[in-house]
Structures are given as C-alpha cells and as structure tokens.
Amino acid sequence: MQSNIRNVNEKKEKEFIEEVVITTPSQDSTANNTDLEIEQVIEKIDLLSQNENPYLVSKEIEELKSIFYIKLKEKTKTQEIIILEDIPNTDQDESSEEESKENSLDPLEINFKTSYGKFKKVKFEYRKKRDRQELDNLKTKQQIIADIDKLTQEDESIKKTFEHFKILQEQWKNTGHVPQNENNNLWQSYHHHVELFYDYIKLNNDLRDLDFTRNLEEKIAIYEKAEALLNEKSFNKMHNTLQELHEHWKNVGPVKRELREELWKRFQNISKTLNKKRNDYFLKEKEKDQNKIIKKEEICKKINALTSEVLTTHKEWEIITNKCSELEKEWKDIGRLNKTENSIAWKSLRTVLNSFYDKKNTYYKQKKEEGKSVLKVKISICEKSEELQKSTDWQVTGNQLITLQNDWKNAGFSSADQSNKIWKRFKAACDTFFNARKAHYKAMDKEKEGALKEKKELLLTLKEFKASSNSKDDIKQLKEFSNQWKKIGHIPRDKMKINDEFFDLINAKFEELGLSKKVLAEEQYKNKVSSIKGNDKAISSEKQFLRLKIDSLKKEISQYENNISFFGKNKGTEPLRNQVEKQIAKANTEIETLKQKLQILNKG
C-alpha cells in the first residue's frame, strides 16, 4: 500500500512539472511574438485558444493583444503619413475623412476582436467549470474529515479501522484544489482530526513506527526535490514547484515527535533559500528595469527635442523622421520591462511619437495649402518660358530663361503629383531654346574657324611689315591693317588671345614710326577699342571707367577752385596759387582726352 501511494504521488508530481514546463514561457517567447506579422498574431491567438486550460496561455495571449495593437497603430500611422506626404490634389472635406475613420474599423482589428472574444468566452467557461469543481472538492474533503471523525466511533478492529483511515487519506490527496478562502481552515481541520484519530486508536508502537517511517521517507523525498530546485533555471518553475511541494508536505502524515521540528526546519530553510534566490533575481531584474526605464525616458526626451525648433523644409522633416525611427528602434531594442512599467513606458513612447507625428502632419497640411499658391507661380513661370522658347535673341533670352529657372527653384515646395506635369512643360521649353542656341553657336563656330585662319594670315603679314621713309604712307598702311582686321569678323572664343597679339604688335609698329605721344596714344586707343569690339561687357566696363575718371577729375578741379578762393592776393601766396592753377589746367586737359576716348568708344 505504501508503494502504491508513493507511485501515485510521483505521478502527480511528474504531471505537475510537465505542466509547469509547458506553461512557463521561454526567455525568447516575447521576442518571437514581437517578430510576428500582424496577421500571424491573430493566427497564434486562435491556436492558443485551443489549449485545454486557457489560464496556461492567458499571459501570452495578453502579450499578443498588446503586440497586435502596437503593430496596428504603427501600420495605421504609416498609412496616414504616406497620405499626408503625397498631398493628393483633392477637394474632399477633412472633417468627412475623420468621420469616415471613426465609423469604420480596420478589417484586421475586426478579425482580432473575434479571435480574442472567443478566447475570453473559453476562459470564462473554464473558470465557471473550475469554480464548480473546487466547490465539489470542498464538499468531498469536508466529507472525508467527517468520515475520519466517524472512525473514532466504530467498533471495528484496529487493523481494519486503520486501513479504512489510509483509504480516506489517499482520497484526500487525490482530491483537487478547493476555493482559496477555504483552503487553510480546511487543512487545519483535517490535520486536527488526523491527530485525534491517532490519539483515539492508540496504535501499537510497531504499526505507528511503520507509518512514521513511511511519512519520514516521503517528507525526506519532498525535501530532496526542494533542494534539487536550487539548480532550476526557470524561477517561475522553481516557485510553482515549491508551492506544490509545500502542499504535498501538508498532506503527508506526521513523523516521530523528536524528528518533527528538525525535519520541518530543514524544509523551511531550503524554502527560504529558494525564495531568497527568487527574490534576489527579481530585485536584480527590477534594478535592470530601472536602468532600462532611464534609457527609455532619455530616448523619449530626444524624440521630443527633435521638434523643439521650427522646421521649414521637406528635407528637414525627412532627416528628423529618419532620426525618430532610429530612436524608436533604439527604444525597442532596450527590451521589455515588467508588465506595469512596460505599460507606462509604452504610454510615454506613444505620447511623444503622437506629438511628433501630429506636428509633422500639421506641417504637411500647411504645405498643402502653400502648395496651391506655389503651383500658380510655377504655372506662370512655365507659361513665360513657353513664350520665349522660339526666340533667336540668344543672349537676352538665355539670361531670361536662367532667371526663370532660379525663380522656379525659389518658388517653394509643391507636391510632386501637382508640379511634375508643369515641370515637364517648363523643362521642355527651356530645352527647346537652349538646344537651338547650341546648334546656332555650333554653326557659327564653323564660320569663325575661317575668320581665325584669315586673322592668322594677316598677323603674319603685319609681322613682316617694315617702316619706310614715308611715315604717312606707313600710318595709312597700319590703319589699313586695322580695318582689315575688323572686317574679318568674329573668331572662336577660346582663340581670342590672337586679338591681343595683333593689337600689341600694331601698337609696337606705330611706336616704331616715331609719332607724337598724342597721336600715338590716340591710335593705340583706337586699336584697343577695336580689340574689344563686339564684347558688350568690356565696352560697358570701359565707358563706366572713363565716366568715373572724368567725374573724379571734375571734383578735383572743384576742390582746387574752392582752395584758390581762400588765397589772399599777395606775393606770399602767388607761387601756391600758380601751382594750383597748373593742376586745374592739367586736369582739364586730361578730361578732354578722356572725352575724346569716349567719342572713339561710342563710334566703335
């Protein structure tokens, strides 16, 4: 009988351990669930709902519920951001869009609510069944206590009474849990009646010692199983198994009085050691959680700081959105906290993310309105370019189109689907003009190559020119060289140095003729004007230089004349007056020379 009882107890314990292994989630279960796609989360809830004991999977299903809504919110928010960034060209009222969202649920959420609802129903039915079973167990155990009490009133033999007592003890062990609020009182009542039974029947020493020995062996086995839990890696399994061992200990009968206190202290000490190990672990986990909380709070502050300054461009929002995603990933990579802290941390993260994306959405809504005005400006720029695309005024029109291109760049942001068509029209107009201008200049370059060849030949002729005894004829010949040079026409831009070479050479030839400085200067200036002919920018710059110089000399003369008015008419100031009058005369002469240069420049 003792062997049978022990086998039953070992079988129950084995079943319990296997159940704990199944119900205790591995360290990677949450991570694996987090990696599931949103549809797979629903499928896993359906699968777990088929478990015979829904309480064994209740915690994981609640985690799946949290994961589902996190992923659903991320999915919904991503869709909203895409819609806002695209800024579609639609006149739909925004309030009607919000109303539409409120009146409809995501199909995935409908499927989730259906699956989760089924699980809640299964769990509810299981709880009702378990509560009924516990009440039945309570009645059974109360009846067992009553039956033990009756044994003391029967006249049967001690052996038969004791066998009946052992059967009742076995029934007690095999009866399941009772309601929690009844458990302690019930056990104390049972224990009390067992002791009364032993006192009543006054077992002989052999039979009593045999029972004490069996109980001692069973309690030592319980102690050893508790001691083996020191090597258990799963703290949940360790804790649950220890509770079961304590329950088992209660259901085992007494041992010899002199061993009771020592045996109980040993079991109590190993229990304290296990509980301390578990508590130390959770204290360390709590400390880790505190460090994680600090890190997560710091990341939330960083996300919040991303929008502390006003952002005015799409590029800036693109950069900080990527940064926000990186910070969000960093937050998630820190890992989970305990259930309560995890919920608070997620709430903080959602708050800062909602604030960030609300500001981003507000920015793009404003941009959508601004985009309408920008689009009008771009349409106007496009129309102006189309009016200019067939112009042959290459220089002026080219500058106008370049200005329009800069205006387009500075017009501001408008959504791609709104401005792409206008941009294509604008680009086509610009390409039409610039391609035509390029073809024109390419044709001109061929003509310029011929002019360059002529100028090279004329330059060689000039180099061979030698002054004769008749300076008038020589001057006439040199002027003829200049006239021929002018008539030849334009040459390629990258060969313009030949002009400087020609006019430097012809100036040198004039110097060889021994002309007066005035005549020589006049001829040389005419040559300079000839060298820049056709270069509007150079001519304009030369004219500006001459006018500024004339203005400067006129101011000097005015200053000199003002100074003379302060000189007295006496011999002491006469030398100074004469010197100033010479400066005035020199300045007037220089002004006349500059005016002549202006005339030459205007005649071209």
- Per the listing, tokens 């002027």 go with 479
Per the structure, the complete domain to which residue 483 belongs is given by 465-531
List of residues 6+ apart from 580 with CB closer than 8 A: 560, 563, 564, 567
Domain membership flag for residue 177: no
- 419, part of any domain: yes
Average pLDDT over residues 476-497: 78
Together in a domain, 314 and 346 = yes
My answer on whether 524 and 538 are in the same domain is no
Question: How many domains is the chain built from?
Answer: 4
Contact at 8 Å (CB) between 356 and 397? no
Question: Where does residue 170 rank: exposed (0-12), middle (13-18), buried (19+ CB within 10 A)?
Answer: middle
- The verdict on 392 and 437 lying in the same domain is yes
**How far apart are the C-alpha atoms of 493 and 404, rounded to whole Å?**
27
- Distance, in Å, from the CA atom of 116 to the CA atom of 96, rounded to the nearest integer, reads 31
pTM above 0.75, yes or no: no
For 287-318, write each residue's pLDDT tens digit.
Answer: 888 888 999 899 999 999 988 888 888 888 89
- pLDDT of 518 reads 65
> Final residue of a domain: which of 372, 404, 421?
372
Q: Are 81 and 360 in contact (CB under 8 A)?
A: yes
Chain centre to alpha carbon of residue 174: 60
CB contact at 8 A, 122 and 49: yes
CB 178 within 8 A of CB 141: yes
Return the amino acid letter for 274.
Answer: L
- 46 burial (CB, 10 Å; 0-12 / 13-18 / 19+) is middle
The answer, yes or no, to whether residue 7 has pLDDT greater than 70, is: no
* Residue 586 and residue 548 share a domain: yes
Q: Could you tell me if 514 and 539 lie in one domain?
A: no
pLDDT digit string, tens, across residues 240-252: 998 888 888 888 8
Of the three residues 372, 390, 416, the one that is the final residue of a domain is 372
- Looking at residue 337, the DSSP 8-state letter turns out to be -
- What is the C-alpha separation between 519 and 478, in angstroms, rounded? 14
Rounded-to-integer distance, Cα 62 and Cα 46, Å: 13
Nearest to 221 by CA among 267, 167, 190, 272: 267
Would you say residue 182 lies in a domain? Answer: no
At which residue do the structure tokens 């300079």 appear? Answer: 528
| Domain-embedded: residue 551 | yes
Percent of the chain with pLDDT over 90: 8
User: Given pLDDT bands bounded at 50, 70 and 90, which one contains residue 322?
Assistant: very high
Residues 308 and 350 in one domain: yes
The residue whose two tokens read 């040459």 is 491
Query: Distance between CA atoms of 468 and 447, rounded to whole angstroms?
Result: 36
pLDDT tier for residue 556 given thresholds of 50, 70 and 90? confident
Domain membership flag for residue 438: yes
Q: Which position has the token pair 């150079």?
A: 538
Q: Are residues 475 and 504 in the same domain?
A: yes
Do residues 24 and 255 lie in contact, with contact meaning Cβ atoms separated by under 8 Å?
Answer: no
**The last residue of a domain, from among 372, 388, 412:** 372
CA distance 303 to 306: 5
